[in-house]
Amino acid sequence: MALDGYSGGGMSRQAMRAELLDAETELALARAWRDHGDQRALHRLVMAYMRLAISVASRFRRYGAPMGDLIQEASLGLMKAAEKFDPDRGVRFSTYAVWWIKASVQDHVMRNWSMVRTGSTSSQKSLFFNLRRVEAKLLREAAARGETVNSSELRRMVAEDLGVPLADVEMMAGRLSGGDASLNVPQSAGEDGRDWIDTIEDAGADAAAQVEVAHDRDCLRGWLAAALAGLSARERYIVVERRLNGDGRTLESLGTELGLSKERIRQLEAAAYAKLRKRLETQSPEVRHLLSA
């Protein structure tokens, strides 16, 4: 990589000392990289335009990201531009690189602005970086006309101005109205105040319900084990293989193994189920109720 070994500060110092390329030199370097994979040409081309990358990165400082991180992201965008640049299209590299640099920095800002995903579509991205500016412009224009605009009207006007869905405007306005708040923050300043996380209802079953379910499951297992013990070894084997092991074996496969016909296996299975039912019905009124349901 052309920028390996450079930190944000190191890249800034290098950029200030880098040469300014004329169009012919820039074209020759781009072709050397594209056609021959010349790493020295790539390094020279990228470092010549680090000033541009730093300039673009500095426009996003107000979003709270460290300048060093922004420069790093800008340099990655610059590298991507260099990898994809076609020198035969008649466009200067700086013109082509600006889009890639800006896109890389914007993606970084949106990823790190909040723990909650801020947006992924082009309209949401446009709103994230332009909502406040467009709102201010529209309010100035309305004031100049002597008009008063409420919040719902303003959001509709923003959607029309930017050509984005109104739902996206409302969503982004809510996201930008405040930063992230920790659920571990107390509700009040007092020592006995609960954290906000304590107010969230647990969607799972409570302890009493869990104990009850576990108790019922253990009882059913015990009743079933006792009922199975009352079957013959062959009947027990058929029931286990047919109903209690994985997806259950077919009558044919069991008949082949036991040397019996499919019909005989079916008869033995039906007899075993009848014995199980009779045994289980004697275990508890609860079981009789379940079997009759």
Could you tell me which of 36, 33, 49, 35 has the C-alpha nearest to residue 1? 33
Domain ranges of the chain: 8-113, 122-176, 207-292
Residue 269 CA to residue 231 CA, distance in Å, equals 11
Residue 175 CA to residue 180 CA, distance in Å, equals 9
* Confidence tier at 4 by pLDDT (50, 70, 90): very low
pTM over 0.95: no
Summarize pLDDT for 179-228 with one digit per residue, the tens: 545 556 666 665 566 665 666 666 665 667 777 778 878 877 887 788 88
The SS3 of residue 219 is helix
Query: Are domains 8-113 and 207-292 of this chain identical in fold?
Result: no
CA 133-137-139 angle, 5° bins? 115
Q: Which CATH fold topology does 207-292 show?
A: Arc Repressor Mutant, subunit A (1.10.10)
CATH code that applies to domain 8-113: 1.20.120.1810
Section 49-76 average pLDDT: 89
Question: Cβ contacts of residue 102 below 8 Å, gap of 6+?
Answer: 56, 77
Q: Are 13 and 47 in contact (CB under 8 A)?
A: no
Summarize pLDDT for 111-138 with one digit per residue, the tens: 877 655 566 677 777 788 778 888 899 9
Question: Cβ contacts of residue 135 below 8 Å, gap of 6+?
Answer: 154, 158
